[in-house]
Structure 1
Amino acid sequence: MTAYEPPTALPRDMLRREDVRSAIAAHDFGFVFRIARSEAGISYSKIAAECDMKPERVGALARGEGRVSTFSKIAQIADALRIPGHMLGLVSRDWEVAEPYVATASARVISTQRDGEPVRRREFFKVSAGVGLAVGLPDVEPLGTSQRIGSKVPEQLRRRTAQLRRLDDVLGGGDTYRVYIGEFQATKGLLRDGSYSEETRRELLSVLAEQAQQAGWAAFDGGKHAVARGLYEDSYEAASEADDSALAGNALAFLAYQAGNGDGSAGVEIAERSCRTAGPEAPASVRALLYERLAWAYAVAGNAGGTEKELEAAEVALGEKDQNPQPDWAAWVDGNELQIMTGRCWAELRRPLRAVPALEKALSQYDETHARDKSLYLSWLADAYVTSGEIEQAAAVTGRALELSVGVASVRPRERMAVVIRRLGAHRAVPAVAEVLEMARS
């Protein structure tokens, strides 16, 4: 604990106020800055100096313009304003006096390191993601007693679905499934109970298909495989009825990805059908997504030629200057994602000379806040290192993947890691391997 008390430290009685505590929990620092100036006499210039921010940035936040979301800056604000870590989703700061601020939660706290800051990863992101959604989710216009659904409602629902999709960036399916299935069920209710034009009906069905895919992915990620398959099938039916060939193709791609976990040939057949269903007129981002999913299906089936052909097709599609609107559900497919899929495919095909460079390059640019996905992708890099005989490096990468997967509500990282750990088991005499095997057991 340090003796230094910054001039921006908030009075303790202020930290006990319900409105201040709510704002802190929501990471609404603009509100906190306003209260600090108006009621504690702490100027914006002092806050700016202590938080290493520009005064105009502090003023903008106080006016409700923008948000603070990075680990390092939130930690700086916590230290400058002497906000106890547990109020922000951080572990205790080194200056804290335990007495009045000890967190009462009995849940086990799992810490990890990022930029030198220990962080309660799950709690931090649940707060951050939830706050962002609360601010950004578009409202759906009231339906009234007639339950007549206007033409604007499907687009409002689609924007809401796009915002909710951001949760998947930082949370696993175990955390998001209930949110996504609730949205899906609500839209089903509108279709069942409301009245609308034929055009609005088609748009609602398209939204329903998108929501079913979102809920299906969360179910798959959380280990609910039968539920996921049913939702993907529901999505395909709704998209087909809506004449949305791109979404119908993507529903099949999800089914192919799931089928490929058990039967490579079944995955290929469905993935090929997904590309035919979407067709050559689908938006470029959609075609890139479906081609790379087909490449993965070929890789699982052991077809190197088919894999290479579809990876090249995905790269061509990504390079197109498509002026048409690209759907939000395919927007995550970019050059880095394609590099990751390329590396995964070649790792699956036991071609480490191709897999390792692609994965290392892509993962060097991959933020560790996306813990689930990065731990998954590291598992393929570790697998490729085992194949190439670089056992110590494989062990090091596996250890990092295990660290990242802690506390993530997804079954997939541990399932993938189990494959790598089994392969490493043949090298348990290597000290680095023995250490990571012990880490996996614990």
Structure 2
Amino acid sequence: MFRLARELAGISYSKIAAECDIKPERVGTLARGQGSVTSFDKVVAIADALRIPGHLLGLAPRPWEGTASAPVLPDRDEDTSARGREDVRRRQFLRAGSGAGLAVGIPDLVMQRAGRRIGREFPALLRERTARLRRLDDVLGGGDTYRVYLGEYQQTKALLRDSTCAEETRLNLLSVLAEQAQQAGWAAFDGGRETDAAGLYKDSYSAAVEAGDTDLAGNALAFLAYQTVAGDRKAGVEIAARSCRTIAHDAPAGVRALLHERMAWACAVAGLATDAEKALHHAEEALADIDSAPQPDWVAWVDSNELQIMSGRCWSELHRPLRAVPVLEAALARYDDSHARDKALYLSWLADSYLTAGEIEQAAKVTGRTLDLADGIASVRPKQRLAPFLKRLAQHRDVPAVADVLEKAAA
């Protein structure tokens, strides 16, 4: 199957290795007919990666079988619950097409040029491919996207090792590699692979520094701070501050806004209210500078509404519900349900603030909506976020609305 996948579908052994969680050299050995795969878990992983129907391998039908038909888009006048069901179907459809098949569906620029001399136009084409694949994160969790993003990173790394190019082209490729490492690191973090995420962020930082790309170097540190602050608040704040110092004063406005936002979050988690507010103010000032100047694709999602959400999250984390609730209510009303994972997470901070304010029924209502959105998302973060909150909410299980949402959570 591995040999046929390469010869007939053009899927490289390195991509198969990333998708099936097998070392690339073993994939090559198996493709030559040497050795065999006998582990049940590995057979399942290969079936899912190459979309082999279960019955062909003596397995039960795989979860993705029968979900790959085109989604039916809802009419504009359908109610919210109907749109929610369509969002779930859309995620199922995209998940069924993700992995090796989806990545190969985009022209495989790396595979076509590996081992050759690379032209100066290639890094820009590869960066465009990276941007297109980034859109998967809008609707899928890291459990679905990690191996896709990791495969892209591994191929670019191999390209730098095995091909020749001018020095300027090499530096541009290193910049793309740094961007891909961040994308893979984020998916790893979202999918519960904490150690992999930290390693990829550090690799990204090294590649960005070598490339002379201070913006991506600063963002690699910001990612690392976001992950670190949950376990070591002091270290997280220090890394976030370093990320802001790394970028130049004339960095794109979106980059400055993003890094100051993450600085604000680190400070909020550490209980530093004044520093958090100051960082939010710097982020707001940066966003005000955005005009027609080009911004890197990896900050395209940063806008005034996203900043309002981060502000509300910070005030919620600082136990200031009177400041958090109105900001989150207004911003989340404008936030589309198709971004299910992120909206579920953001709503959890709104529910938390309602509970802190003693609005038990409203907290339960928002929690129910959070559970609906998080259903079927391949991300560990909504569950991690909700677990301690549900324990707090359970102290009010005598309230009917709370009893209902606890039953939903258990189911």
Class of the TM-score when normalised by the shorter of the 2 chains: 0.7 to 0.9
Shift of 1:128: 8.2
Correspondence for 1:387? 356
Correspondence for 1:206? 175
In structure 2, relative to structure 1, the CA distance for the partners of 1:370 and 1:115 (3 Å cut) is: closer
What aligned pairs does 1:132-151 form with structure 2 within 5 A after superposition?
A: 137=106, 140=109, 147-151=116-120
Correspondence for 2:369? 400
Alpha-carbon distance in 2 for matches of 1:412, 1:293: 17
Please state if 1:304 is matched with 2:258. Answer: no
Alpha-carbon distance in 2 for matches of 1:142, 1:128: 20
Please state if 1:122 is matched with 2:104. Answer: no
After superposition, give the CA deviation of every residue in 1:192-232 in whole Å (9 maximum; x if it has no partner): 00111110110010000000000000000000000000000
Alpha-carbon distance in 2 for matches of 1:231, 1:85: 32
What aligned pairs does 1:253-402 form with structure 2 within 5 A after superposition?
A: 253-402=222-371
Shift of 1:136: 9.1
Letter in 1 for 2:230: N
Alpha-carbon distance in 2 for matches of 1:294, 1:119: 33
- Check whether the contact 1:232–1:254 (CA below 8 A) recurs between aligned residues: yes
Higher relative contact order (CA 8 A, sep 6+): 2
- Count of residue pairs brought into register by the alignment: 338
Secondary structure of the corresponding residue to residue 113 of structure 1? helix
- Check whether the contact 2:347–2:367 (CA below 8 A) recurs between aligned residues: yes
- List gaps (5 residues or longer) in structure 2: 1-65, 74-80
- Check whether the contact 2:254–2:299 (CA below 8 A) recurs between aligned residues: yes
Please state if 1:189 is matched with 2:158. Answer: yes
How many percent identity over aligned positions? 65
Letter in 1 for 2:321: P
Shift of 1:322: 4.6
Secondary structure of the corresponding residue to residue 82 of structure 2? strand
Please state if 1:156 is matched with 2:131. Answer: no
- Check whether the contact 1:344–1:380 (CA below 8 A) recurs between aligned residues: yes
Alpha-carbon distance in 1 for matches of 2:199, 2:114: 32
- Check whether the contact 1:139–1:156 (CA below 8 A) recurs between aligned residues: no
Alpha-carbon distance in 2 for matches of 1:85, 1:152: 38
Alpha-carbon distance in 1 for matches of 2:306, 2:132: 20
- List gaps (5 residues or longer) in structure 1: 1-83, 92-111
**Runs of 4 or more above 2 Å deviation:** 84-91, 115-122, 124-130, 133-146, 321-325
- Check whether the contact 1:141–1:153 (CA below 8 A) recurs between aligned residues: no
- Check whether the contact 2:88–2:376 (CA below 8 A) recurs between aligned residues: no
Alpha-carbon distance in 2 for matches of 1:433, 1:125: 33
Alpha-carbon distance in 2 for matches of 1:145, 1:216: 24
Correspondence for 1:224? 193
Q: TM-score, normalised by structure 1?
A: 0.72
After superposition, give the CA deviation of every residue in 1:279-335 in whole Å (9 maximum; x if it has no partner): 312110000000000000000000110011111110110011455421000111001
Correspondence for 1:88? 70
Letter in 2 for 1:88: A
Shift of 1:347: 0.2
Shift of 1:418: 1.1
Pairwise CA RMSD: 2.5
In structure 2, relative to structure 1, the CA distance for the partners of 1:85 and 1:176 (3 Å cut) is: closer
Q: TM-score, normalised by structure 2?
A: 0.77
In structure 2, relative to structure 1, the CA distance for the partners of 1:318 and 1:390 (3 Å cut) is: same
Shift of 1:378: 0.5
Shift of 1:122: 2.7
Secondary structure of the corresponding residue to residue 378 of structure 2? coil
Shift of 1:266: 1.1
Larger-Rg structure? 1
Letter in 2 for 1:156: L
